Amino acid sequence: MTLRITFFITILLSLGNLCQGQNSPKIPRDFVEVNLDTAGAEEKRKWNFPNYEFKVAQEKGKLVVKPNKYQNTVKLRIPGGILIGVNRGEWGGALSFQQKSRSKESVLIKNGNVTDIFIYRDKIYFIEGLAHLTYNQGALYELNTHTAPFSYQGVIKFEDAPQLAAVYKDQILVVSYNNFYLIKELKKETLFEKTFWGGLYPNSMATFDDQNIFLGMRAGIAKVDLENKQLKFYKYIGKKKAIK
């Protein structure tokens, strides 16, 4: 009896693994995996200076990859208006609030290179960061919109400039210039450090499961596997068109 039960469980686990593999998002045909262990410095340098980049999204359970035009503005619509974050690199940036009435001027909340704004556990957060020359750092802030004017407080400091964030399984995933962080109960954990995407400027994230988290960036897309602690890079090999 015990042998039969063990055999039955083995079959179920095998079928589960097979289904998981079948459900993994399909990589577009114009992208090919690069061996990160053997890619030389000269090859990686070329990834940093393409005239094209890509953004990723999840649509109806599928991975969608599209050309991306760099934008230095992020927005979040809230009651009464829109929060606007601007990142102009070494030329600065800001977080401001534009009321619904266009006739009213936007209200400055904070100066800084704001790279993302999002809602987590019914609270508003924003990240700012800058990687320029020897400066490379940033922070996560909580925004209070129940005061007039709006107020904010620092929550977490980053030793590497954060680029974007996503809420996943009641946690916050933060992609920075070189690193990848997991924030749980507002405590930071560095999952990947000094990654290959330094200089590729990740711009978007699509989360499917622990083994399939995709990042859009210059020259291609990255795959983050939290379960197996692995990173992969898929370089674009299709017809190269400049992003206008």
Q: What is the pLDDT of residues 63-111, one digit of tens each?
A: 999 999 888 999 999 999 999 999 999 999 999 999 987 767 899 999 9
Residue 85: exposure state from Cβ atoms within 10 A (0-12, 13-18, ≥19): buried
Q: Using pLDDT thresholds of 50, 70 and 90, give the confidence band for residue 240.
A: low
Question: What pLDDT, in 10s, does the model give residues 126-174?
Answer: 999 999 999 999 999 999 999 889 999 999 999 999 999 999 999 999 9
Mean pLDDT of 43-56: 90
- Model confidence band, residue 18 (pLDDT cutoffs 50, 70, 90): very low
Give the 3-state secondary structure of residue 20. helix
Q: Does residue 38 have a pLDDT over 90?
A: yes
Ordered DSSP codes for 142-189:
EEE-SSSS-EEEEEEEESS-EEEEEEETTEEEEEESS-EEEEETTEEE
> Is it the case that residue 28 has pLDDT exceeding 80?
yes
Q: pLDDT, tens digit, for every residue of 91-102?
A: 999 999 999 877
Residues whose CB is less than 8 angstroms from the CB of residue 222 and which lie 6 or more positions away in sequence, other chains included: 196, 197, 202, 214, 215, 231, 232, 233, 234
Contact in structure between 155 and 162 (CB atoms under 8 Å):
no
Residue of 175, 185, 190, 227 lying closest to 24 (CA atoms): 227
Segment (H or E) for 208: strand 204-209
